[in-house]
Every structure is written in C-alpha cells, then in structure tokens.
C-alpha cells in the first residue's frame, strides 16, 4: 500500500495532467487510501472529470467528492466573502455603524454568520 503522501502526490499529478479542468482549484487530501477532493469548479463536467482522474490512480481505494460547482454568473457569496464583509463592518468606527455591533470575531459556515465573543 502506498503512503498517503505518495498517493496524494500521485493524484495531484494525475489531476494536473487532465486538461478537462483547472487542477489548481482542487484540493487533495489522503488518508488510508481514501482521497478527498475539495475546491470549486465551473460545471458538473469538470467535477466528474476530477473524480474520474483521481480514481484512475493506482492505490486509491475510494474518492470522497467535496468539490463545489460554482456556475458562472451566480452571485451567491462564499463563506469567505461573508466573513470578510462582517469583519469590515466591525472594523468601522462605531459612529459609522448602522447597528450597535461591537468588536467580536466572526465565523462564517455554509453561508451563515455567527458572532463569537461578548
């Protein structure tokens, strides 16, 4: 059985070889022969091609597909966009804020904002 780091490297090389999608947009992790793919692609064909490419690598037992399809033109905000906007609001001088927001840390998950702290 290949070591996880070797398997991860082999999957990365296979993804980079495939011209069907941008491999730079896909993250790869490996544990006990199971590959997890994450990141964003522009369509379902790219997503399927990435999964097929990972499955082609010798030593891969299974592929967990966590790749998100971000269709062009959809103005849905990512968790990072939401967190950045919340931090920007909290960093404004208190007189410029619309609400009584105070300095707190923000956490964004699945497009829900959560304030942490007092």
Domain boundaries of the chain, sorted by first residue? 4-69, 79-116
Is the CB of residue 28 less than 8 Å from the CB of residue 10?
A: no
Q: How far apart are CA 79 and CA 95, in angstroms?
A: 27
DSSP string, 19-82: TTS-GGGEEEEEETTEEEEEEEESSHHHHHHHHHHHHTSTT--EEEEEEEE--TT--PPPHHHH
Task: Quick: pLDDT tens for 60-107.
Answer: 999 999 999 987 666 667 777 778 887 887 777 665 555 554 555 555
Q: How far apart are CA 57 and CA 59, in angstroms?
A: 6
Domain 4-69: which CATH class?
A: alpha beta
Q: What pLDDT is attached to residue 32?
A: 94
């Amino acid at each position: 059985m290949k070591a996880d780091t070797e398997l991860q490297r082999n999957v990365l090389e296979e993804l980079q070889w495939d011209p069907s999608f941008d491999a730079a947009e896909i993250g790869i992790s490996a544990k006990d022969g199971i590959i997890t793919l994450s990141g964003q692609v522009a369509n379902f064909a790219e997503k399927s091609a990435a999964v097929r490419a990972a499955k082609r690598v010798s030593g891969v037992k299974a592929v967990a597909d966590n790749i998100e399809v971000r269709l062009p033109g959809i103005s849905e905000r990512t968790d990072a966009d939401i967190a950045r906007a919340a931090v920007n609001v909290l960093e404004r001088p208190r007189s410029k804020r619309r609400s009584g927001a105070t300095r707190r840390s923000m956490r964004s998950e699945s497009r829900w904002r959560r304030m942490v702290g007092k």
